């Protein structure tokens, strides 16, 4: 807690120094921040900063409907699903940033590139057996098996300019060399409403508006966007006060967010398809014993966890979780059945555990770039000490964390991550977290290996009706709660502080919300009052 008092005091001091300064709005320029690293290659995009870049520099075949379930046309005008065959008709009036016309060949190349690299969200397209350009405006996907969320997956298929990439292939192990990775790590080759002017993945990405975009863009939309990485809370507050910053990341401590509101900032938010997950390494003693994991889950103080995220009256970064699946998704438990702390149940589970808690020290990690996670680590330390566990709290930079979790032995006993359904469908939330084939990523440091979980996940993605998917995910929810590989702290409600000069309906009006993390930051849909 002392750390956060120092942060708040520093923020107040810096703000005092700049409070008297006249506003320095840069006309038409939007300034915001995120945690590093900003991955520009769209085939590798998976984190929040990556998504902000991808959704603005590249376009996808479909978009989530705003304020409603389902999907609407974007680069594709329409589509037909016939069993394992999906045929899409493309627009014929779309140009890449290079000036090249987009055709079905670019779609084919984008899929093949993503599959070849096998990074980012490529797992969404392992079900694609083949993809072909029937003609310039028709593309046909053949799937290896029925895949209910395939149209939703297309939200995460950025279309790249084949001709530009082919002209910029770097050295590699086959005829495609590096598939243009070196080039696309610093340059854009999309059709998006914004073009990359400069990119430093640790410091700042500068985007400029694409005046040849195929859809109308409000004249009030930002002409330039400066996405900065890794700013300290005190720096952000000072910049906001002096009119040199417009939108904060969601990772600021609540008291800093509250102070920004007191300085005149408004709140933006995204909610729905994700949560805050406390991941338990199921391969490492004592957490390889299910009874021990159940004890920790029962001992966790869910109410206090949400209170930690509180920013203002009625505004918090978390909503009560009811189980493994966020409220509102297939298989979720009702909203009026929140998880609660139960120390009697925790002690009963501990009695059945094969380990003596006093003989084990649990390593509890928190992400250095997300300071609020230290508070959750301290909460866990207090909660779990009541059961006799010793804990060691470890601050881990994000890049190091993603490296550590690739091996179960180096993975901490307990990790903290925010995870969302990257397409809005539960398959993209749960499959990469819990299928045994997905273990060893930042989303899956549990290393869960359970045949029943695998079966239900596969059933959820292959079922041919909403009712069948609901049944599969409901059973999965129950199974995960029984296995307790994760403590489901709260359902996520991402909150951002913003300058009053910014209008962003997709982040303020539920009827305009996309239901996919990061898409609310489509800059073409924002306006600035300069």
Distance from the Cα of residue 408 to its chain's centroid: 23
Per-residue pLDDT in tens (0 to 9) along the chain, 530 residues: 333 333 333 333 333 333 333 344 457 999 999 988 889 999 998 888 999 999 999 999 999 999 887 899 999 999 999 999 999 999 999 999 999 999 999 999 999 999 999 998 898 899 999 999 999 999 999 999 989 999 999 999 999 999 999 999 999 888 999 999 999 999 999 999 999 999 999 999 999 999 999 999 999 999 999 999 999 999 999 999 999 999 999 988 889 999 999 999 999 998 868 999 999 999 999 999 999 999 999 999 999 999 999 998 888 989 999 999 999 889 999 999 999 999 999 999 999 999 999 999 999 999 998 888 999 999 999 999 999 999 999 999 999 999 999 999 999 999 999 998 888 889 989 999 999 999 999 999 999 999 999 999 999 988 888 899 999 999 999 999 999 999 999 999 999 999 999 999 999 998 999 989 899 999 999 999 97
Q: Given this model, what pLDDT does residue 313 score?
A: 85
| 247 DSSP 8-state letter | B
Q: For residues 197 and 210, is the Cβ–Cβ distance under 8 A?
A: no
All structural domains of the chain with their residue ranges: 2-57+192-265+499-528, 62-166, 271-493
Structure tokens at 48: 């929040």
62-166: which CATH architecture? Alpha-Beta Complex (3.90)
Q: For residues 109 and 229, is the Cβ–Cβ distance under 8 A?
A: no
Name residues whose C-beta falls within 8 Å of residue 473's C-beta, 6 or more positions apart in sequence: 325, 329, 330, 331, 332, 426, 430, 456, 460
Q: Given this model, what pLDDT does residue 282 score?
A: 98
CATH of domain 2-57+192-265+499-528: 3.40.190.10
Kindly tell me the burial class for residue 5, based on how many C-beta atoms sit within 10 Å of its own C-beta (0-12, 13-18, 19 or more). exposed
Q: Given this model, what pLDDT does residue 10 score?
A: 38
First-residue to last-residue Cα distance in the chain = 39
Could you give the 3-state DSSP secondary structure of residue 210? coil
d(CA 11, CA 240): 11
Q: For residues 494 and 267, is the Cβ–Cβ distance under 8 A?
A: no
Q: Given this model, what pLDDT does residue 47 score?
A: 84
d(CA 112, CA 125): 9
Maximum alpha-carbon separation in the chain = 68
Structure tokens at 288: 């390889």
Q: Given this model, what pLDDT does residue 329 score?
A: 87
Map tokens 């409603």 to a residue.
68
Phi and psi for 465 in degrees, rounded to 5?
-150, 160
Here the contacts of 211-220 (C-beta below 8 Å, separation 24 or greater) are 212/95, 212/99, 213/524, 214/91, 214/93, 214/94, 214/95, 215/524, 217/193, 217/524, 218/524, 218/525, 218/527, 220/503, 220/527, 220/528, 220/529
Structure tokens at 476: 């999965």
The strand pair at 318-319 and 361-367 is best described as: unpaired
The pTM score is: 0.80
Name residues whose C-beta falls within 8 Å of residue 118's C-beta, 6 or more positions apart in sequence: none
CATH 3.40.30.10 fits 271-493, yes or no: no
Kindly tell me the burial class for residue 464, based on how many C-beta atoms sit within 10 Å of its own C-beta (0-12, 13-18, 19 or more). exposed
């Amino acid at each position: 807690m002392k750390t956060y008092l120092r942060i708040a005091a520093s923020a107040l001091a810096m703000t005092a120094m700049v409070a008297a300064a006249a506003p320095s709005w840069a006309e038409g320029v939007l300034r915001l921040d995120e945690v590093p690293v900003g991955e520009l290659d769209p085939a590798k995009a998976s984190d929040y900063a990556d998504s902000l870049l991808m959704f603005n520099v590249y376009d996808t075949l479909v978009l989530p409907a705003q304020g409603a379930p389902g999907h609407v046309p974007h680069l594709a005008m329409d589509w037909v699903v016939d069993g394992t065959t999906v045929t899409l008709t493309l627009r014929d009036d779309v140009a890449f940033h290079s000036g090249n016309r987009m055709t079905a060949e670019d779609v084919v190349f984008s899929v093949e590139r993503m599959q070849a690299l096998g990074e980012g969200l490529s797992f969404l397209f392992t079900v694609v057996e083949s993809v072909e350009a029937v003609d310039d405006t028709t593309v046909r996907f053949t799937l290896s098996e029925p895949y209910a969320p395939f149209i939703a997956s297309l939200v995460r298929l950025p279309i790249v300019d084949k001709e530009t990439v082919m002209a910029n292939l770097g050295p590699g192990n086959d005829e495609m060399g590096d598939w243009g990775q070196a080039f696309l790590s610093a340059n854009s080759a999309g059709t998006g409403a914004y073009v990359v002017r400069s990119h430093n993945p640790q410091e700042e990405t500068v985007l400029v508006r694409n005046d040849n975009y195929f859809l109308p863009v409000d004249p009030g939309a930002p002409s330039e966007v400066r996405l900065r990485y890794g700013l300290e809370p005190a720096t952000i507050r000072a910049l906001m006060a002096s009119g040199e910053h417009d939108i904060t990341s969601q990772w600021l401590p609540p008291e800093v967010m509250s102070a920004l509101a007191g300085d005149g900032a408004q709140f933006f938010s995204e909610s729905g398809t994700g949560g805050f997950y406390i991941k338990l390494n199921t391969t490492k003693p004592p957490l390889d014993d299910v009874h021990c994991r159940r004890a920790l889950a029962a001992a966790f103080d869910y109410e206090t966890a949400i209170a930690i995220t509180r920013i203002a009256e009625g505004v918090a970064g978390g909503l009560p979780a009811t189980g493994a699946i966020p409220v509102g998704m297939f298989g979720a438990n009702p909203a009026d059945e929140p998880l609660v702390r139960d120390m009697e149940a925790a002690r009963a589970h501990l009695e059945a555990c094969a380990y003596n808690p006093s003989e084990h020290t649990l390593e509890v990690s928190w992400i250095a770039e997300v300071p609020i996670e230290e508070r959750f680590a301290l909460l866990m330390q207090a909660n779990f000490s009541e059961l006799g566990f010793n804990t060691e709290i470890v601050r881990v930079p994000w890049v190091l964390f993603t490296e550590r979790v690739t091996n179960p032995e180096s993975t901490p006993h307990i990790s903290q991550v925010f995870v969302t359904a990257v397409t809005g469908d539960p398959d993209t939330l749960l499959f990469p977290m819990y299928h045994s084939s997905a273990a060893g990523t930042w989303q899956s440091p549990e290393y869960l290996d359970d045949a029943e979980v695998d079966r239900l996940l596969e059933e959820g993605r292959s079922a041919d009706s909403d009712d069948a998917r609901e049944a599969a995910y409901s059973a999965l929810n129950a199974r995960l709660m029984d296995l307790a590989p994760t403590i489901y702290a709260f359902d996520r409600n991402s909150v951002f502080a913003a300058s009053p000069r910014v209008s962003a309906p997709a982040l303020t009006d539920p009827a305009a919300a996309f239901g996919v993390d990061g898409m609310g930051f489509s800059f073409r849909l924002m306006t600035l009052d300069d």
